Amino acid sequence: MRPTTLQPAISLAEQKAIILQEGRRVTSYDVALVAGVSQSAVSRCFKPGASVSKKTYERVMKAAEGLEYIPNAAARSLITRRTNIVAIVVSHSSMLYNPAALSELSQQLNRRGKRALLFTMQHEGEIEQILTDVWQFQVDGVIAASKLTPAHVEEFRRRQVPLVVFNRHLRDMDVNTVLCDQFEASRALVSRLAAAGHRQFALIGGPEQNSVARERLRGALDRIEELGLPAAPVFYGCFDYSSGVAGLHELIARIGAVPDVVICGNDAMAMGCVDAARQHLHIDVPSQMSVVGCDAVEGSQWLSYELTTLRQPLHKMAIATADLMCGLIEADGEVEAEKRVFAAQFVEGETARLHAPRAVLAA
């Protein structure tokens, strides 16, 4: 380290010239030199709640401003073992189909003094590579909206990196989780639709590997069986609009008739299904067939759709996730894994018939 000789304070302009000439960055040492104090005094001035005299503080701050000094986070984190960075791991598709979630998460983290390091993946398989990077960057924690194996979770524990799983159901894993109870929501949805007289259900689900999509399907199928309704065919889509279009055509072919109601794994597919019904097949929605989505994204409530759907309390979930994460970072050690489960909110919309018709006609 450079000697911390305490000279009577060099002029700001002089020091600025030196820095510029040497082509280096402004350090706390430069500030100390100009302010005429020790380097550690400068450091203390930038630490909230440290003991510094008013006089010292002012001289340091003046010098710091003059030099446009800003502490180097890398150097700080090296010793504090905190980066104030939280990684968010998210798939390309959840970003496209539910951008609000990422936006909310990022905002809630920012509000708590954390920054979001974004990792997007095309395929869930890229997780290995991403985790290697995550370890390198020494992030304070990871918020994952992606599939994780027990081995991955175990590695988080070993490395003592806090992990919160967002909106994924990691069955039987002891891991912090914030999610919406898709299973229960789907069950309740089926109950309500059945009460309105719907009997033949058909399902357009998300990708088979996706845990959220799976839960939604499971809940619906579970309740359909429980109620003794006719078996519901399932079409596995990939969350995009065209899956909804293709799904409806396929399901009708399989059943050999128009189903009473189609439950879709997200809104984009539901809107595809509505459009296919109305525009390709001239089926009136909801009088001839009901369609239900999931997520209540922006466009789903626009006049051309007014989709019947389930809204996830994204804002609350983001708050819970950020709180949980910050708690874990503070705790800095063994804490019981916590699961915060939220209920989905039903959005009535205009694409499902929710009351029994005057006279229920048997087909």
Partner DNA sequence: TTGTAAGCGTTATCAC
Partner DNA sequence: GTGATAACGCTTACAA
29 binds DNA (CB under 7 A): yes
124 binds its own copies (CB under 8 A): no
Q: Rounded to an integer, what distance in angstroms lies between the CA atom of residue 147 and that of residue 165?
A: 9
> What are the strands of the beta sheet with 201-205, ordered from one edge?
234-236, 201-205, 261-264, 290-292
Query: In the set 9, 10, 16, 39, which binds DNA (CB under 7 A)?
Result: 39
43's contact among its own copies, DNA, none, with CB below 5 to 8 A by partner kind, is DNA
Query: In the set 12, 33, 34, 41, which binds DNA (CB under 7 A)?
Result: 41
Q: Is 317 helix (H, G, I), strand (E, B) or coil?
A: helix
Query: In the set 11, 25, 96, 124, which binds DNA (CB under 7 A)?
Result: 25
Phi and psi (nearest 5°) for 109?
-65, -50
DSSP string, 97-133: H-HHHHHHHHHHHHHTT-EEEEEEESSGGGHHHHHHH
The set of residues, in sequence order, having a beta carbon less than 8 Å from that of 147 and lying 6+ positions away, is: 124, 127, 168, 209, 210, 211
77 binds its own copies (CB under 8 A): yes
For the segment 271-310, give every residue that binds its own copies (CB under 8 A): 271-272, 274-276, 278-279, 298-299, 302-305
| Residue found under tokens 């694409």 | 351
72 binds DNA (CB under 7 A): yes
Q: For residue 316, give Cα distances in angstroms to 174, 188, 320, 333.
A: 22, 21, 6, 26
Q: Closest separation between CB of residue 90 and its own copies, Å? A: 9
Q: For residue 98, give Cα distances in angstroms to 106, 174, 341.
A: 14, 26, 19
92 binds its own copies (CB under 8 A): yes
For the segment 80-119, give every residue that binds DNA (CB under 7 A): 80
Residue 93 vs 186, nearer CB to its own copies: 93
Q: Closest separation between CB of residue 79 and DNA, Å? A: 4
Contact 230, 190 (CB under 8 A): no
Residues facing 163 on adjacent strands: 142
317's contact among its own copies, DNA, none, with CB below 5 to 8 A by partner kind, is none
53 binds DNA (CB under 7 A): yes
Cα 200–204–206 angle (5° rounding)?
150
Query: In the set 88, 220, 234, 296, which binds its own copies (CB under 8 A)?
Result: 88
Cα 329–330–331 angle (5° rounding)?
95
201 binds its own copies (CB under 8 A): no
Residue 60 vs 87, nearer CB to its own copies: 87
290 binds DNA (CB under 7 A): no
Going by their DSSP bridges, the two strands 201-205 and 141-145 should be labelled as unpaired
The set of residues, in sequence order, having a beta carbon less than 8 Å from that of 294 and lying 6+ positions away, is: 216, 264, 265, 266, 267, 270, 309, 310, 344
Query: In the set 11, 14, 18, 24, which binds DNA (CB under 7 A)?
Result: 24
Residue 42 vs 144, nearer CB to DNA: 42
Query: Peptide bond before 233: cis, by omega within 30 degrees of 0?
Result: no
Cα 144–345–293 angle (5° rounding)?
80
Stretch that binds its own copies, among 64-72, 140-148, 215-223, 352-360 (CB under 8 A): 64-72
Residue 100 vs 255, nearer CB to its own copies: 100
Q: Closest separation between CB of residue 231 and its own copies, Å? A: 30
305's contact among its own copies, DNA, none, with CB below 5 to 8 A by partner kind, is its own copies
Contacts with its own copies by CB under 8 A lie at 68, 70-75, 77-78, 83, 85, 88, 92, 95-96, 99-100, 102-103, 106-107, 110, 115-120, 122, 132-133, 135-138, 155, 158-159, 241, 245, 268, 271-272, 274-276, 278-279, 298-299, 302-305
Contacts with DNA by CB under 7 A lie at 1-2, 4-6, 24-29, 37-41, 43-44, 46-47, 51-53, 55-57, 69, 71-72, 75-76, 78-80
